[in-house]
A and B are shown apart, each in its own frame.
Chain A
Amino acid sequence: MSEHPVTLVVNNRRYDLEVGGRPGDLQPTHTLSYTLRETLGLTGTKIGCDKGECGACTVLLEGEPVLSCLILTVECHGKKITTIEGLEDPQTGKLDPIQQSFIDSGAFQCGFCTPGMIMSVKALFAGNPSPTGQEIREALSGHYCRCMSHYHVLEAVAGSVPKAGGTDE
């Protein structure tokens, strides 16, 4: 059994989790989304469908957007994870420009899909500071919004592009 402790670095903070059967212990069956929410109390990551179809649970694993509902926490040992809570400036509490742009554009109604979308956009901007409209749509293609806020989301993302100049198609 992989009973060694599992170390996660979530939002630059290190967590050492014991694997075992006691209350609060990490179980091999726990998904990353479960651990983030229930064990670490980071409830910004949402669980929508819990089967990889909606994108609400998207977090960054080593900088890449992945679905935390389909990843076992024990398989993230030593990995760097970024969740929505990791985007604001820890010193000043200032929101990431993407978060601020979502607020300014009113890019949500219920907001359940928002953290996942923002994480995908964060990864997009990290690799491509001036994406085209098509590239933005592509980066968001794994996210469902049932309130139909998609157009406001595109506006919000376009408004937070780090280096303007990407041409729309």
Chain B
Amino acid sequence: MRSFQHINVFTLEEAVSVLKDSGGKAQVIAGGTDIIGVLKEQILPDYPEILLNIKAIPDLDYIKKDHEGLRIGPLAKLAGLAKSPAVREKYGALAQAARSVGSPQIRNMATIGGNLCQETRCWYYRYPHSIGGRLLCLRKGSGSCLAVNGDNRYHALFDARRCFAACPSDVAVALLLLGAEINILGIGGKRTVYLQDFFHPLGNALEPGEIIGGIHIPTPPVGAKQQFLKFTLRKPIDFAVVSAAALIVLDGGICTEARIALGAVAPGPRRFPEAENFLKGKRLETNVLEKAAGIALEGAKPLSKNGYKIEIAKTLISRALSACLENESFNH
């Protein structure tokens, strides 16, 4: 790796202050599973002068229940989320999503904050500098999106305008489903953004000098059933081709609340209000679930090679909804 200065910080405030003083030349490292790869392959034209290790900050890996829901520290490991009784009890989709990421070793290293801040897996964006030079594109600040006329089989179906990279985070899909909020610390103080506002077409909501301070998930509705599912090419360890999460509340067999979220199909995780509204007030027979999946994908705008993801997404939505219903019958 090219050289950088390595600094340990011991409080979040100190981290913010170093980020501010560095004038954009410092980058945060948490679990390192993404950024070490980014630095080794020098995929970005800008290389950090300072790597700011926040792992030395104590007590930031908490997973705490309170009367408003669940609070998760930015350094909570994915392995810990996957096996936490508090997460599994009421936030099952998040436990399933965390469990689906990488390998056991990666989950022992990777943090929830890092998972939200990871770089996209777009293969043009991540092309290694050592093999003929990195590829510049719109996301790197010069040129246009190479996926539009290139091999775009893993790229976005929704909401992409100029850059078609898809958001790779599985955890974000579950957090969106559960209505999570991200607490952000910066030079100006604290602010909170909803997860649906965290991802931007070319990155995320963190301004220079800002850092994730924590994550809050409100208590899910009483009786809610949830399921996260992920389609990958390599079963034990891979990024999602498409991931899906569903949440259902039934009252006397009638759906009173429905949430559907998809991952890896847009610049961020995405909800589908029309399909969700279609389910409300209905008995959830198989054909109703399939109809909802169809409604969700109506607005998809495939590129030349990623149309197949529409069918995968529809199937995952139907299966996630069905799994919620099975959980329902199992529990009563």
Contact = CB atoms under 8 A, between A and B. Distances in A.
Contacts of A69: 36
Contacts of B8: 2, 75
Nearest to B128: A51
Contacts, number: 84
Nearest to A68: B105
A49 to B, nearest CB: 10
15 contacts: A2-B7, A27-B3, A28-B51, A51-B41, A52-B37, A66-B109, A71-B109, A72-B6, A72-B32, A72-B36, A75-B29, A75-B32, A141-B237, A142-B103, A143-B103
A138 interface: yes
A113 to B, nearest CB: 13
6 closest pairs, A vs B, by CB? A142-B103, A141-B236, A28-B6, A29-B1, A70-B36, A64-B108
A104 interface: no
B6 A67 contact: no
Interface of B: 1-8, 29, 32-33, 36-37, 40-41, 51, 53, 55, 79, 102-106, 108-109, 236-237
A28 B8 CA distance: 11
Nearest to B99: A138
B7 to A, nearest CB: 6
A71 B33 CA distance: 8
Given A70-B33, A72-B36, A142-B236, A29 B3 contact: yes
Interface of A: 1-2, 27-29, 31, 50-53, 55, 58, 61, 64-67, 69-72, 74-75, 120, 138-139, 141-143
Contacts of A67: 33, 105-106, 109
Given A28-B51, A72-B32, A52 B3 contact: no
